[in-house]
């Protein structure tokens, strides 16, 4: 017997799912789910829980539907984040900054990575994520390394890779270049300083506005717009850069915007992207004034050397003010580029880096989506994808950190580069190049952007560059489920690299889910303190409840707002399931393998079979469209409304009658009682098992557990014949019964009758005349009535062509009943009149479809009949009073 209390902890913990290995079903359709590898930086957050749950639902569903499913897990080394995190740990525990060698730090990170991986994998198992952990991969494992080198070499040889000195976004805290995508704009309160640049001939000055006065030392010109009347006469004049004795020219360039600042702009090519372009156009020199830590260098006046950039700014402004070169200061809101990981303002710096030429790679990636070989769900994300790829810029892939794939490039003594998959191969190339037997080669110090290895994930995980059966079977047969925030970082690059290296798309489907936010719609963040830990939720409510809730809140293209109350809804649903199955078991329901749908006789049994069939179809449709919200809704209503609130109540009298008198046996005139009871038990067990199996992808723990309790160990997708036609009479009868019960309940409550007190009732119906005989037990119990003699004081209710007469107790409030009927008749009249208006409108008759017109006619007739009957009732109530 099941425990009285539903306690997910008692069984979820003990479950470990045996994941069927892939490739074991050679005749089945292959299907792969590529799990976005979480960073090895600690633990999973609620966003992972959502993402992984959705994938697990898909994977389990596909397995049930007979696919050969490979659900591929992995972990990402997450270069910068992980290194920063481990460094912080080390410093926090006493290590001195800058004392660790590369080898020492890497050793520490590997240790940390092991711990993190274990935590993450356990969390995934707690959530019930059914990936094939025996195939777990890490972006920096041996296979990953091989693949990365191979692709790097291929890109290099194909001319898609180059190394060069260029201006990049530099993170002074990490002391590394980062890519455009890792730049976030932040709006901050800043100042706009108006500086006087004195003419070299002392004949006056020009005022230039800047937000970065510390960069004046890198100024090589002042630019004005050629159209700008104010300054045209000054072009070519020399001015003196403030606080220095350096002379620069006033030049003309379209870049100077007369609308902004004073219309004259200082040009600092070494520290600004736009100025760099201007510098190139005018062949201006580059003056670098900062080192890689963001401190001013020897190219600035001695006073400011070694100052941090912000300290320098304060000091420069102070001195400018003192020397009278500061005209005025304005407060402004400005957008400043920050590093997304380090959260410090970035510096544009000229450094030597490796770049991938993205334009060529983008072309086939764009057409793959244009040609519908790859589709985004929801589709609108394709616009974002196109927009980015159409304007894609070179991808800076080198990082000046230690944790990551070391760039497979070696340099000879003269700086000649040899790109090769290994030192040996680089050596061969070098030997050939120099025509010597021995060449000292030094490997590039830098590592690759983490996303470089992530971009190869679809084929790396399948064993590439080895030729593997998995590669042949699953490549381009997968789905990727992820958040929109990594469409550029990951999705686009996987498509580019996949098409480039494999000559085939990696996956046809990309499902994009929303971000998980708190109940107010805010992003979750540690600083806001609104982070919800999925594992805490699992502990409190059970993993199934968490999974259920996440799935139920997932709508395509919408963010998921979550709070604990929404998880309670999921938990309540599972409790309901637990209880109803406990009840069924208490009444002797266990799964009967011999059960045949066609043998069922009782209308309620036929009805629930139909309802289950309908639910299965609905879930199949919704799964096909990745409508996880609909999937849970169908399950919810099927169980709670149809199964619990109606079906179980219908069959209680049958299940619970322990001993029957002969008279009672006669009443159950459908079947001999023992047979009827068995019939109902079997149907109930069957329905429960079907339900649990459809529930399985969403809530596997409870599904497995209760299915086992019902005597079914194997989960399989229901295969139910279409019963709608065969069972149509029974279905209609039960629907009628439901309406009768609801109506009587409604009236009784309206009249403030005590629900416990039975009211005498007579049912008058053309098609279901004998319903009161056939379903006496059910009606009496569920509607709180008694069939018997009806005295003259009666009221009645009209439903679907039937009239239910109810005997009035003394003291019943007839006036309010009359009010109720009048309101009802008025509502029906309004509806009828609306319908008639339509049906007499020639425009409607001429244009609307036949079925629509028919439906309107039917409704009008329906209303007419109801109105007629209610009017009769009102008349009869007049007689009573």
Q: Which residues ranging from 750 to 789 are in contact with RNA (CB under 7 A)?
A: 750, 754-756
Tell which one of 36, 37, 74, 261 touches RNA (CB under 7 A). 261
User: By C-alpha distance, which of 492, 252, 226 is closest to 382?
Assistant: 492
Q: Is 472 in the site for RNA (CB under 7 A)?
A: no
Cα dihedral 581→586→591→594 (10° resolution): -140
With contacts defined by CB under 7 A, name the span among 114-122, 279-287, 848-856, 873-881 that binds RNA.
848-856
Q: Is 799 in the site for RNA (CB under 7 A)?
A: no
Smallest distance from RNA to CB 646, Å: 8
Full DSSP string of 316-354: HHHHHHHTT-EEEEEEEEEEEEEETTT-SB-EEEEEEEE
- Rank residues 89 and 260 by Cβ distance to RNA and give the closer one: 260
With contacts defined by CB under 7 A, name the span among 144-152, 259-267, 492-500, 807-815 that binds RNA.
259-267
Tell which one of 244, 656, 666, 674 touches RNA (CB under 7 A). 656
Token pair for 64: 């049930």
The footprint of RNA on residues 172-191 (CB under 7 A) is 180-181, 185
CA distances from 183 to 169, 194, 339, 346 (A): 8, 28, 5, 8
Full DSSP string of 397-463: -EESSSSSPBP-EEE-TT--EEE-SSHHHHHHHHHHHHT-S----EE-S-EE-HHHHHTTHHHHTTT
Classify 479 as helix, strand or coil. Answer: strand
Smallest distance from RNA to CB 829, Å: 10
The footprint of RNA on residues 81-110 (CB under 7 A) is none
- Rank residues 85 and 562 by Cβ distance to RNA and give the closer one: 562
The footprint of RNA on residues 517-546 (CB under 7 A) is 519, 521, 523
- Rank residues 304 and 548 by Cβ distance to RNA and give the closer one: 548
Buried b (16+ CB within 10 A) or exposed e, 63-101: bbbebbbbbbbbbbbbbbbbbbbbbeebeeeeeeeeebe
**Segment (H or E) for 804:** strand 802-807
CA distances from 10 to 19, 542, 574, 867 (A): 22, 10, 14, 57
Token pair for 707: 């299915």
For residues 570 and 552, is the Cβ–Cβ distance under 8 A? Answer: yes
Q: Is 855 in the site for RNA (CB under 7 A)?
A: yes
The footprint of RNA on residues 325-354 (CB under 7 A) is 332, 334-335
The footprint of RNA on residues 5-24 (CB under 7 A) is 5-6
DSSP strand E in 137-201: where?
137-138, 161-171, 176-178, 183-199
Tell which one of 136, 319, 350, 384 touches RNA (CB under 7 A). 384
Q: Is 277 in the site for RNA (CB under 7 A)?
A: no
Classify 42 as helix, strand or coil. Answer: coil
Classify 131 as helix, strand or coil. Answer: coil
Classify 516 as helix, strand or coil. Answer: strand
The footprint of RNA on residues 107-146 (CB under 7 A) is none
Q: Is 211 in the site for RNA (CB under 7 A)?
A: yes
The footprint of RNA on residues 666-695 (CB under 7 A) is none
- Rank residues 90 and 195 by Cβ distance to RNA and give the closer one: 195
Phi first, then psi: give them for residue 347, nearest 5 degrees: -120, 130
Judged by CB under 7 A, the number of residues near RNA is 90
Gap between the Cα atoms of 623 and 553, Å rounded: 15
Greatest CA separation for the chain: 124
Q: Is 561 in the site for RNA (CB under 7 A)?
A: yes
Buried b (16+ CB within 10 A) or exposed e, 539-563: bebbbbbbbbbbbbbbebeebbbbe
Interaction mask 393-432, RNA, x per CB under 7 A: ----------------------------------------
Smallest distance from RNA to CB 161, Å: 22
Smallest distance from RNA to CB 136, Å: 31
User: H-type helices in 751-791, by residue range?
Assistant: 771-774, 776-783
The count of C-alpha atoms lying within 13 angstroms of the C-alpha of 297, restricted to the half-sphere facing its C-beta, is: 11
The alpha carbon of 755 is separated from its chain's Cα centroid by a whole number of angstroms, namely 47
- Rank residues 410 and 490 by Cβ distance to RNA and give the closer one: 490
With contacts defined by CB under 7 A, name the span among 43-51, 386-394, 596-604, 727-735 that binds RNA.
386-394
Q: Is 280 in the site for RNA (CB under 7 A)?
A: no
- Rank residues 107 and 854 by Cβ distance to RNA and give the closer one: 854
Q: Is 232 in the site for RNA (CB under 7 A)?
A: no
- Rank residues 1 and 713 by Cβ distance to RNA and give the closer one: 1
Tell which one of 141, 308, 649, 726 touches RNA (CB under 7 A). 649
The footprint of RNA on residues 212-231 (CB under 7 A) is 212
- Rank residues 274 and 468 by Cβ distance to RNA and give the closer one: 274
Q: Is 555 in the site for RNA (CB under 7 A)?
A: yes
Q: Is 852 in the site for RNA (CB under 7 A)?
A: yes
- Rank residues 432 and 746 by Cβ distance to RNA and give the closer one: 746
Q: Is 749 in the site for RNA (CB under 7 A)?
A: yes
With contacts defined by CB under 7 A, name the span among 66-74, 526-534, 552-560, 695-703 that binds RNA.
552-560
- Rank residues 416 and 800 by Cβ distance to RNA and give the closer one: 800
Tell which one of 288, 559, 620, 667 touches RNA (CB under 7 A). 559
Q: Is 317 in the site for RNA (CB under 7 A)?
A: no
The footprint of RNA on residues 605-644 (CB under 7 A) is 629-630, 633, 636, 640, 644
The footprint of RNA on residues 571-590 (CB under 7 A) is 571-572, 575-576, 579-580, 582-583, 586
Q: Is 192 in the site for RNA (CB under 7 A)?
A: yes
CA distances from 321 to 299, 335, 645, 837 (A): 22, 25, 80, 82
Residues 6+ apart with CB under 8 A from 391: none
Q: Is 843 in the site for RNA (CB under 7 A)?
A: yes
Smallest distance from RNA to CB 864, Å: 11
Tell which one of 406, 614, 834, 865 touches RNA (CB under 7 A). 834
Residues 6+ apart with CB under 8 A from 469: 23
Tell which one of 29, 343, 387, 445 touches RNA (CB under 7 A). 387
Gap between the Cα atoms of 489 and 455, Å rounded: 8
Gap between the Cα atoms of 706 and 696, Å rounded: 11
- Rank residues 25 and 637 by Cβ distance to RNA and give the closer one: 637
For residues 695 and 61, is the Cβ–Cβ distance under 8 A? Answer: no
Q: Is 811 in the site for RNA (CB under 7 A)?
A: no
- Rank residues 209 and 668 by Cβ distance to RNA and give the closer one: 209
Q: Is 742 in the site for RNA (CB under 7 A)?
A: yes
């Amino acid at each position: 017997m099941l425990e009285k209390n539903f306690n997910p902890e008692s069984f979820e913990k003990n479950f470990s799912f045996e994941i069927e290995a892939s490739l074991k079903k050679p005749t089945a359709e292959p299907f792969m789910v590529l799990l976005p590898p979480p960073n090895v930086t600690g633990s999973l957050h609620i966003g992972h829980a959502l993402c992984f749950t959705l994938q697990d639902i898909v994977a389990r569903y596909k397995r049930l539907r007979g696919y050969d499913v490979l659900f591929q897990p992995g972990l990402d080394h997450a270069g910068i984040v992980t290194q920063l995190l481990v460094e912080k740990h080390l410093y926090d525990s006493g290590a001195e900054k800058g004392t660790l060698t590369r080898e020492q730090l890497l050793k520490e990170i590997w240790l940390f990575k092991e711990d993190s991986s274990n935590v993450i994998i356990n969390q995934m198992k707690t959530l019930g994520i059914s990936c094939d952990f025996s195939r777990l991969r890490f972006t920096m494992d041996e296979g990953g390394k091989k693949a990365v080198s191979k692709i790097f070499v291929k890109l290099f040889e194909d001319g898609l890779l180059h190394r060069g000195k260029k201006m990049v976004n530099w993170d002074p805290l990490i002391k590394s270049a980062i890519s455009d995508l890792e730049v976030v704009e932040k709006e901050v309160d800043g100042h706009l300083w108006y500086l006087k640049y004195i003419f070299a001939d002392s004949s006056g000055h020009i005022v230039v506005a800047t937000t970065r006065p510390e960069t004046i030392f890198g100024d090589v010109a002042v630019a004005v717009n050629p159209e700008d009347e104010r300054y045209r006469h000054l072009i070519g004049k020399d001015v003196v850069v403030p606080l220095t004795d350096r002379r620069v020219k006033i030049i003309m360039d379209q870049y100077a915007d007369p609308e902004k600042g004073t219309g004259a702009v200082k040009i600092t090519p070494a520290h600004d992207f736009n100025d760099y372009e201007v510098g190139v156009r005018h062949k201006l020199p580059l003056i670098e004034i900062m080192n890689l830590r963001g401190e001013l260098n020897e190219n600035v006046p001695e006073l400011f050397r070694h100052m941090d950039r912000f300290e320098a700014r304060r000091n420069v402004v102070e001195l400018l003010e003192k020397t009278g070169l500061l005209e005025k200061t304005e407060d402004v809101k400005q957008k400043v580029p920050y590093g997304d990981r380090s959260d410090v303002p970035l510096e544009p710096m000229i450094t030597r880096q490796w770049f991938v030429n993205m334009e060529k790679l983008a072309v086939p990636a764009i057409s793959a989506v244009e040609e519908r070989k790859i589709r985004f769900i929801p589709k609108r994300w394709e616009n974002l994808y196109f927009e980015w790829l159409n304007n894609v810029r070179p991808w800076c892939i080198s990082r000046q950190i230690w944790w990551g794939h070391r760039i497979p490039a070696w340099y000879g003594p003269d700086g000649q580069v040899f790109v090769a998959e290994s030192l040996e191969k680089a050596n061969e190339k070098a030997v050939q190049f120099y025509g010597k037997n021995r060449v000292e080669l030094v490997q590039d110090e830098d590592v690759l952007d983490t996303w470089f290895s992530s971009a190869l994930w679809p084929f790396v995980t399948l064993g590439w560059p080895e030729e593997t059966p998995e590669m042949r079977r699953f490549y381009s047969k997968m789905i990727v489920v992820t958040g929109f925030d990594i469409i550029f970082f990951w999705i686009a690059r996987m498509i580019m690299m996949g098409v480039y290296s494999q000559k085939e798309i990696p996956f046809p489907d990309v499902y994009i889910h929303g971000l998980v936010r708190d109940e107010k719609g805010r992003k979750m963040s540690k600083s806001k303190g609104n982070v919800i830990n999925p594992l805490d939720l699992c502990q409190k409510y059970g993993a199934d409840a968490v999974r259920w809730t996440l799935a139920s809140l997932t709508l395509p293209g919408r963010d998921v707002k979550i709070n604990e109350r929404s998880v309670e809804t999921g938990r309540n649903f599972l409790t309901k399931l637990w209880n109803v199955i406990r009840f069924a078991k208490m009444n002797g329901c266990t799964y009967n393998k011999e059960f045949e749908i066609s043998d069922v006789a009782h209308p309620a049994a036929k009805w629930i079979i139909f309802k289950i069939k309908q639910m299965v179809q609905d879930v199949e449709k919704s799964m096909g469209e990745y409508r996880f919200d609909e999937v849970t809704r169908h399950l919810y209503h099927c169980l709670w409304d149809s199964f619990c609130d109606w079906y179980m109540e219908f069959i209680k009298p049958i299940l619970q009658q322990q001993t029957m008198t002969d008279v009672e046996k006669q009443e159950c005139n459908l079947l001999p009682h023992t047979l009827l009871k068995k019939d109902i038990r079997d149907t109930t067990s069957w329905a429960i098992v079907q339900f649990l199996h459809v529930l399985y992808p969403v809530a596997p723990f409870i599904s497995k557990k209760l299915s086992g309790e019902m005597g079914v160990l194997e989960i399989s997708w229901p295969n139910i014949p279409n019963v709608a036609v065969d069972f149509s009479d029974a279905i209609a009868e039960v629907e009628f019964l439901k309406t009768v019960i609801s109506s009587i309940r409604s009236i009784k409550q309206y009249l403030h009758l005590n629900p416990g007190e039975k009211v005498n009732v007579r049912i008058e119906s053309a098609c279901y005349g004998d319903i009161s005989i056939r379903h006496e037990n059910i009606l009496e119990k569920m509607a709180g009535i008694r069939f018997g003699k009806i005295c003259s004081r009666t009221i009645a209710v009209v439903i679907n062509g039937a009239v239910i007469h109810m005997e009035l107790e003394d003291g019943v409030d007839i006036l309010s009943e009359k009010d109720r009927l009048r309101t009802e008749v008025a509502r029906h009249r309004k509806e009828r009149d609306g319908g008639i208006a339509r049906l007499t409108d020639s425009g409607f008759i001429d244009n609307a479809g036949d079925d629509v017109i028919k439906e309107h006619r039917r409704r009008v007739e329906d209303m007419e009949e109801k109105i007629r009957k209610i009017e009769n009732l009102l008349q009869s109530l007049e007689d009573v009073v």
